[in-house]
Every structure is written in structure tokens, then in C-alpha cells.
Homo-oligomer: A and B are copies of this chain.
């Protein structure tokens, strides 16, 4: 089809929209009482058996968007406590401070043990604002990373065999990895802690601030390219949303510079189709050698 090189693959079905998509349905919350929400965590966002940390952050982010007077996460810091499972969960929010420009809130995601007691999975602190109210000034020196055109990149569906680590979440994402960061999938990791991919939702829903919380934690771990194939659970993840993303696919670039003492950081930046830096994140993760 006559599309620009950077445009997403045309979907077979009508495109989903913000508010009516798999991502929106799977992060939808049912209010139980003011500030408390029930949700059934979807098994559709799992990697092997683990629920993706970005999906969980989006769930918490949606709860705070409802609980706070401002609707857009500007900065959200999550500490991951125990591993979440698909199934029932509750989000408890607390308004810490409301201001004219920014409001700050806290939220916890909890599930239930065999005795029905609440077990906390994740706790977050976040400051919310209104991205549309920000002035237009931009004095950035950040440049988008070099990306091959999407048709030169590869997703799980392009391999002769499933890519290691692919799982349910791959059906919900449009993920096209830069081949220069795909050596791990061929048994030849580059040794550089880099991972880059074109990113979208498989049903064509465009990005919004909540889906950016997913985007920063949806690529294969940079550890794979360092030659580490073990599990890399997130300890802490902070995301800054810097502007509302334009429609179209995102470019996500993740870098690890320092693997030491059994921990590593992953720095993500997300660029939109208008070449704006829409999100920056950093996480600290543990390296569990397999």
C-alpha cells in the first residue's frame, strides 16, 4: 500500500481508538469506593508467566488520573514489591497534595493470598498535571536516535521460530526491533546494552500518556544484548511524560550503561511521529543469572 516508510503496517481490521481498545479494556477500573478500584488483571500482557510491569504501571496511572484533579502523569515513580499474577486486584489511591499546576498522589496495587489477605504488589508516587496547558517553549538538545525504517525492522512474527521470551503480550503489541539490537535472538549479542524498537498497539490504538507508561517497559531487556539471558525483574521505575504523543508509531530506545553488583539501570526514551521526545524513564533492575 502506498504509505510512507515510517508509517505502521496497515491493519486488516478498523483501527481501535483511545478509549475503545484492548489496552483500555484491560486497564479499566471498577470504582469500589472513593479512591479504591477493582480490576481483573489481564493474562494478555504477560511475558512468560509474569505480568508486564509497564501494563501494571498503566493500571496504577489510570487510577491516579481518576483520583487526582489533574489527568496526565508528569512523573510517576513505582517500586515493585512482589510479582503480580493475572486475576483480581485492587488499587488504593491517596491524594497527597493538590495544587494549581500539579497534584501529587500515591497508589498501591494489591492482590490476595490464599487466605484472602491483601498482598501489596507495587507502590507508586506520582505528580500529575495537564499536558495541554504547558507552554510551547522547547530548547531541547536531544535528538531522535537513528532508527532504520520500520520495514527493515523485525518483530516476533518475522522469525522462523518464536523469539525467546515472546509471550502473550506480543499479540497485543506492534513491536519492530532494530536489527542492530537483535543479535541476542540469533545467539550473537552485541555486548552493548542497547535495545530499540518501533512501538505501537497491535489493534492500532494511538498512544496517549497512559500507554507511554507501557511503552517504556515493553521491549526485551537490554541485558539480552549484554549476553545475559536470565530474569531481570524491575525494582524501581520512574517515568516522565514530557508531552502528549502525536498519532502514529513511537520509537523507543533503551540504554544500559552500568551493570554492576547484580543490578543494572535501563534508560528509555520515547519519540513520537512528530520527532518530539514524549517520555523519558529510568529503571533499576536486578540481574538474576540463569
- A interface with B by C-beta (< 8 Å): 74-75, 77, 79, 81-82, 96-97, 101-102, 104, 106, 120, 123-127, 131, 134-142, 192-193, 226, 235-236, 238, 240, 242-243, 256-263, 265, 276-277, 280, 282, 284, 286
Q: Which chain B residues border A240 with CB–CB below 8 Å?
A: 236, 263, 265, 282, 284
Whether the Cβ atoms of A140 and B257 lie closer than 8 Å is yes
Q: Which chain B residues border A138 with CB–CB below 8 Å?
A: 259-261
Whether the Cβ atoms of A75 and B139 lie closer than 8 Å is no
Of all chain B residues, the one with the shortest Cβ separation from A97 is B81
Of all chain B residues, the one with the shortest Cβ separation from A140 is B258
Of all chain B residues, the one with the shortest Cβ separation from A126 is B79
Q: Assess A261 versus B77: contact at CB under 8 Å? Given A120-B97, A123-B96, A282-B282.
A: no
Q: Which chain B residues border A136 with CB–CB below 8 Å?
A: 261
Whether the Cβ atoms of B137 and A262 lie closer than 8 Å is yes
13 more contacts with CB within 8 A, not counting A101-B286, A139-B260, A141-B193, are A74-B263, A77-B236, A79-B126, A79-B127, A81-B96, A81-B97, A104-B123, A137-B261, A138-B260, A140-B259, A142-B257, A242-B261, A258-B280
Closest Cβ–Cβ distance, residue A24 to chain B (whole Å) = 25
CA separation between A260 and B138, bound complex, in Å?
4
Q: Assess A260 versus B81: contact at CB under 8 Å? Given A102-B235, A236-B238, A265-B280.
A: no
Q: Which chain B residues border A126 with CB–CB below 8 Å?
A: 79
